[in-house]
Structure 1
Amino acid sequence: MATQSNTKSPHIKRFHYTQDLAVDKPFNWNQLVRMLQYVKPYAKKELPIAIIAMLISTAVRLIVPLIIGKLAIDVAIENGNTNLLVQLVLLIAILYVFNYIGNAIRIKYVNILGQNVIYDLRKHLFSHIQRLSNRFFDNRSAGSIIVRIMNDINSLQELFTNGIINLLMDVVMLLSIVIILFVLSPQLALAVVIIIPIMFYISTKLRKNIRRSWQNVRIQQSRLNSHLNESIQGIRITQSFSQESNNTEYFNGVNSDNFDSWNVASRKSAMFRPFVEMSNAVGTVILISYGSFLIINGDVELGTFFTFALFIGMFWEPISRLGQMYNQLLMAMSASERIFEFLDEQPNVEEKENPTRIEQMEGHIEFDQVQFAYDEDRIALHEISLEMKAGQTVALVGHTGSGKSTIANLISRFYDPTKGAVKIDGHDLRDLKLEDVRQSISVVLQDTFIFSGTIMENIRFGRPDASDEEVMDAAKVVGADGFIQRLASGYETEVEERGNILSAGERQLLSFARALLADPRIIILDEATASIDTETEMKIQEALKRLLKGRTAIIIAHRLSTIRDADNIIVLENGKILEQGSHAELMDREGEYYGLVKSQFQMLDQI
């Protein structure tokens, strides 16, 4: 992995994800077409109205110079016809009213179109990410994912709200002006537009460099957001180790990298506009010098020359906008690459086209010669076979890294085994509908997650259609009702992000209530009582018995006193089963479990 480097200020070196690298790619037209697919739902109403309004305003801008040059100058002024001149002025005023109306309608509907497209794209990306497997999140920070959903999609906003219609408007304007110029005077038109091919040839040379620069901007923004997310989430650790200055130093480095990348990209993109203005100046010089020559020779009328001058002024404006549009398109392409990279990700845990449905799951679990590896060099489980009968309480014990949580993850089908099969009620999990499996399993983790919102909403997360009474009953069963009632607003108390106003034990009790409300057939407690003090633990033991009654329960615990009553205790070491049996049976054998219990109680005696 590469380390951060910064030219502006030194900072602590940290690694970043290697997939965030700027690469040289040709302009991907297929990707542009794919992006425009999100416009399709609005192609029957908003887009046609915006195009019609754009054509009206464009037509007005093209007609006015012809009226001024060919009618006002060559006819009305040349012949001293005041009445005609007044009529032409009124006509121009009316046309500009139409131009105003056309522009107002165009702006309204392109904004409606653009905002709807951005809404749909962000919704699609978020929904897709939620369905990706755990491996996807194992390899990416939360900050880098947030950047894709927020910043990268925001980068497309200008393209969809103005870019598409402006592109059409400028193309129509340019083609129309070229045709009109050649109709008015082929000689003068050819002399003026001859510089355009040269201008486009030079500008294309900048494309690759500019595009790579905007790619780098996206990468640096991703790193900045990742660090911000990490720093805010870990602020207590930072403060407890007095690392604020080092963290600020590192942030300054990442911020400087982001600052520098924007400067480089902006500087390169800014080169186009002066180039267009220089081309405009050259075109104007050609028009004045050669146009004057043609007027003197009688080949061009004064009104035609004046019309040319107006159209030339209008001609370079859309070219300049097209240059800006190209830069905008490059930004959009670099953002869309990153968005479609996520959209093209497929879940590692795939569901069959016609999965088996189980209406009522019993909860009988079987591991048949299961092997699992998080990566090629790290095998977590070595072809283990075990059985958990429906309604049993099974405890998994062992040292850190022995495979306990891996077994829980496979039962929830967060991962699929690399060999063998995990079965529920005799069905391979890979044959079942994933939603059925997940709805029949509740997981209570040591580091439980509390969402921002009320206590009531957090418990109801286990079953959104539950009534208030059902929520309160679940809280009472696990012993959470007491502390909830003592809160200022009871069940309607707003908890902060991650439930920071609650103690670790209170958060854990809420997670128990949430799990109970879901009424699962299988419940997994992954170190679920580790954050609860001994006194609180004793209070909820009876509640746990009610929670686990009639359900298949998998308990992962280091605190062995909590699993004495388990029907079966499985002792793991380095992904292998060393022994299994009831607490009494394992103690009689005086094997690995006996040693773990003995060492743990000796530690308690020393305390």
Structure 2
Amino acid sequence: MRTTAGMSVRAFLRRVWPYVRPYRYRFLGGLVYLGLLAGLELTLPLWTKLAIDRYFVPGRWSAGVWLLGVYALTLGLIGLLQYLQGYFIDVTAYRAMRDLRCHTFRHLLTLPIAFFQRQPTGKLVTRVTNDVDALQEILGQGILSIIADVGTSVAIFGLLWWISPVLALSVTATALMVVGVSFLFQRYAQRAQEDIRTWLARLNGFLQEHIGGISTLQVHRAEAQAFRELQTLNQGYTQAYVSAVFHYAWYYPVIRALEVLTSVLVLVLGGWLFYEGRLTLGTLVAFFQYVQRFFEPLADLSDKYNAFLQAFVAEARIQEIHQTLSDPAYRGQPLNVTGPAPIAFRHVTFRYTPDGPWVLKDVNLVIRPGERVALVGPTGAGKTTLAALLLRLYDPTLGSIEFGHQSIQEVDARDLRRAIRMIFQEPFLFSDTALQNILLYRDGTARAELERWFQRLRHNALVRGLHQKLHETLHERGSNLAQSERQAIAVLRGIATDPRVLILDEALSALDPQTERDLYELIESVTRGRTVLLIAHRLYTLPAVDRVIVLWDGQIVEEGPPQELLRRDSVFASLLRVQALEAYGSGRPAAPEDPPAASEDA
């Protein structure tokens, strides 16, 4: 049997088995119980045949009372085996899929940034939730139930030929018809399931994105357009389901009709054989019961095959994630830097896509240990890109970057990001406590260091208020906090682990002037002898720095101490004058409120 994309059942089981292997003894135990259960259920018609032919027809009722006890005992054992196999198999499936979900999420954490830029969030959420649930359903009872049903049908077919070859011929004719109908159903049902999964992923991606940006839709009065787009996607999803329902709707009645036809043939032919004395009444009753049991799993095949196809499609989509190579940045060497170290950009050239425009062009820059450097320039000059390269969120297209005389392209990004931290203007906040948003689930020394800094900042009203809210659960994106509190969390998150290098992407511009001064004083005290890189979009909020680097169209056009650049007719001085005039012309002071957003999502 082959399914989606030509993948065989054997290949499917081979890829799922590693998650079942740790629980194989429990799984095999459930399989044994299932085999015993199927075997016991097959004995029931034989007990009926024995009771009718040996005791009821001859009128020996009292002698056959023992069969009632045997029948009751068999039913009791069947109930016990149903419980045992269900428990063993379901527990195995839940634990195996728990491991698969964890493995998938762990792999997602290692994928490069470019992967997430290509994939809608809703689609990835569907992979880790709905698709894993589909696999869990088929592993729990679906696949074993199908195996048991096929085995039972084959065993029953053999028993029918053993009981009465003449009656078995009539069953064989309709059984061939059932096989043909089932293959036809499989062909169309598989295509329908693929369409359903495709539309579901698109619908989930749309909802994830547009519900998250619903305030933007409302502000720009785009609700009607968004609703029409949803209607289009919803209609496509519904149509795919209607197509699937059509195929499932015709399959069940056809199988039932063939069952009725077979039953009629068995009753007519069996009645004639009984009348002729060539068949006992018990044999006819047992044969009829076996015929009903033969068609029961075939009639339920539509539902089981539906679950089976969903699992195949789901597994194939999950494998697309697993087959995506992890970010090479996580396969480097340990960072070997023991003290303050210089940062060197050597002929760094970069673009985001192979055929995209150059964002950085032959950048050469050395930042000395403990130096405070400001990166300034117009929007799109490459300031944030330069910081992203330093963090190994991307690697240079050409050139190299060194940290402490060690090429960061050879360093494990996890080590690098422990030494270099970036504070964003718009931090991403999780629906957890403020404390966990600062520590990001670290403990131990990070918690102690954070408490020390809270003590250092106890004179600050903003930080003091945030300290009182440390154990409060934040709403989505921290919507129950003020902007200044969200920004304070971002700053504390950046310095909580005492990094060697601190990158601030206009990080403090959303704070009030007093809090901004307090936090800068703290940063200066705890990073003395370390490196600070400031990305300044608004120059009138720029704090004291040792050197200013001016980027223009991806190139360094000038650099030097800010006082020196201001004394001459420099690009930096021109940018500062232009921004001051823009602030004056807009009727607002050049103050650090109302900044343009720089998001940590990037």
Contact 2:29-2:85 at 8 Å conserved across structures:
yes
Q: What residue identity is the alignment partner of 2:43?
A: I
Deviation at 1:251, TM superposition (A): 3.0
Does residue 380 (structure 1) correspond to residue 359 (structure 2)? The answer is yes
Q: Indicate which of 21, 35, 38 corresponds to 2:19.
A: 38
Q: What residue identity is the alignment partner of 2:32?
A: I
Q: 1:276 to 1:37 in 2, by over 3 A?
A: farther
Structure 1 counterpart of 2:501 = 522
Q: Indicate which of 221, 226, 243 corresponds to 1:247.
A: 226
Q: 1:65 to 1:421 in 2, by over 3 A?
A: same
Contact 2:110-2:330 at 8 Å conserved across structures:
no
SS in 2 for 1:491: coil
Unaligned runs of 5+ in 1: 1-22
SS in 2 for 1:156: helix
Structure 2 counterpart of 1:6 = none
Bigger mean CA offset, 239-248 vs 117-126: 239-248
Q: What residue identity is the alignment partner of 1:368?
A: R
Does residue 365 (structure 1) correspond to residue 343 (structure 2)? The answer is yes
Alignment of 1:553-592 (within 5 A): 553-563=532-542, 565-592=544-571
Q: 1:31 to 1:394 in 2, by over 3 A?
A: farther
Deviation at 1:308, TM superposition (A): 0.7
Q: 1:331 to 1:480 in 2, by over 3 A?
A: farther
- For residues 236 and 547 of structure 1, what CA distance do their matches in structure 2 show? 39
Deviation at 1:591, TM superposition (A): 2.8
Alignment of 1:170-209 (within 5 A): 170-209=149-188
Contact 1:478-1:513 at 8 Å conserved across structures:
no
- For residues 441 and 6 of structure 2, what CA distance do their matches in structure 1 show? 48
What's the TM-score once normalised by structure 2's chain length? Answer: 0.90
Q: What residue identity is the alignment partner of 1:256?
A: Q
Aligned residues: 582
Structure 2 counterpart of 1:341 = 320
Contact 1:135-1:348 at 8 Å conserved across structures:
no
Does residue 152 (structure 1) correspond to residue 131 (structure 2)? The answer is yes
Deviation at 1:539, TM superposition (A): 4.1
Deviation at 1:330, TM superposition (A): 0.9
Deviation at 1:521, TM superposition (A): 0.8
Q: What residue identity is the alignment partner of 2:5?
A: K
Q: 1:157 to 1:79 in 2, by over 3 A?
A: same
Deviation at 1:563, TM superposition (A): 3.6
Q: 1:437 to 1:486 in 2, by over 3 A?
A: closer
Structure 2 counterpart of 1:19 = none
Deviation at 1:135, TM superposition (A): 0.5
Q: 1:57 to 1:108 in 2, by over 3 A?
A: same
Contact 1:56-1:98 at 8 Å conserved across structures:
no
Deviation at 1:528, TM superposition (A): 0.9
- For residues 416 and 533 of structure 1, what CA distance do their matches in structure 2 show? 36
Q: Indicate which of 369, 377, 387 corresponds to 1:398.
A: 377
Unaligned runs of 5+ in 2: 588-602
SS in 2 for 1:50: helix
Q: 1:480 to 1:404 in 2, by over 3 A?
A: farther
- For residues 300 and 19 of structure 2, what CA distance do their matches in structure 1 show? 24
Alignment of 1:51-200 (within 5 A): 51-69=31-49, 71-200=50-179
SS in 2 for 1:131: coil
Deviation at 1:605, TM superposition (A): 4.2
Structure 1 counterpart of 2:6 = 26
Alignment of 1:251-266 (within 5 A): 251-266=230-245
Deviation at 1:560, TM superposition (A): 1.4
Deviation at 1:484, TM superposition (A): 4.7
SS in 2 for 1:385: strand
Deviation at 1:492, TM superposition (A): 2.6
Contact 1:349-1:414 at 8 Å conserved across structures:
no
Alignment of 1:275-424 (within 5 A): 275-352=254-331, 355-358=333-336, 360=338, 362-375=340-353, 376-424=355-403
- For residues 137 and 312 of structure 1, what CA distance do their matches in structure 2 show? 54
SS in 1 for 2:74: helix
Q: Indicate which of 253, 272, 296 corresponds to 1:274.
A: 253
Contact 2:457-2:463 at 8 Å conserved across structures:
no
Q: 1:378 to 1:212 in 2, by over 3 A?
A: farther
* Percent identity between the two aligned chains: 28
What's the TM-score once normalised by structure 1's chain length? Answer: 0.90
Deviation at 1:221, TM superposition (A): 1.9
Q: What residue identity is the alignment partner of 2:236?
A: D
Cα shift readout 1:115-166 (whole Å, capped 9, x = no counterpart): 1122111111111111111001111222221111112212222101111221
- For residues 140 and 351 of structure 1, what CA distance do their matches in structure 2 show? 21
SS in 1 for 2:576: helix
Q: CA RMSD in A?
A: 2.4
